[in-house]
Amino acid sequence: MQKLTRKDLWSLEDYAQKRDTFRQQVMAHKQNRSLQIGSHLRLLFEDRMTMQYQVQEMLRAERIFEVEGIQDELDTYNELIPDGGNWKATLLIEYEDIAERQKALAQLIGIEDKVWVQVVGQDKVYAIADEDMQRERADKTSAVHFLRFELTPEMVKALKSGAKLTAGVDHAGYNPIIEPVSEVATKALLQDLD
């Protein structure tokens, strides 16, 4: 998948005019790329559109308009765009209650390494997590992790031939869960594998 360049971005002024419409498009797009695993884990599979939105929002929030600052944002977020043989996802650990969340984050240390996807008939592919920085401490994990799932050519071929996809987590602090990935989400994720 092609990485973003400065030419793909709108100026702050143009983005201000397009923001509401673009945000609605991105939110609809994300629905097809989101997978709930149990009650408290969500995988959001990133792509070029989700990262363009993230860059535009960062530029807007930080009022970044200088070439160097824009390039720094592009360099950071382009890392989350799939490379054609993998998926890249944001793992969100979601608990509404703050006390419950703090307790869960202490019990879920290492969960980011136990999240997997599986093309039916193939081996599980465990996530390569947090390549940008360490996101956990000795006493708790972070509520947000960045994951990469590297697929073999055989897995990609099977998916393109109609094989089903599942995802799950194998962590002692979170009930082992296997979730089927919907046909809509699978179709969206197949676009990342070209």
Model confidence over 103-129: pLDDT tens digits? 999 999 999 999 999 999 999 999 999
pLDDT band at 177 (very low <50, low <70, confident <90, very high): confident
Per-residue model confidence (pLDDT) at position 136: 60
Model confidence over 7-59: pLDDT tens digits? 999 999 999 999 999 999 999 999 999 999 999 999 999 999 999 999 999 99
The conformation of residue 151, written as its DSSP 8-state character, comes to P
The stretch 169-186 carries a mean pLDDT of: 89
Domain edges within the chain? 1-31+48-81, 39-45+84-194
Fold of 39-45+84-194: Immunoglobulin-like (2.60.40)
Model confidence over 128-157: pLDDT tens digits? 998 765 656 678 899 999 999 999 999 999
In which region does residue 94 sit, left (phi positive, over 0), alpha (psi from -120 to 50) or beta (all else)? beta
CA distance 78 to 63: 20
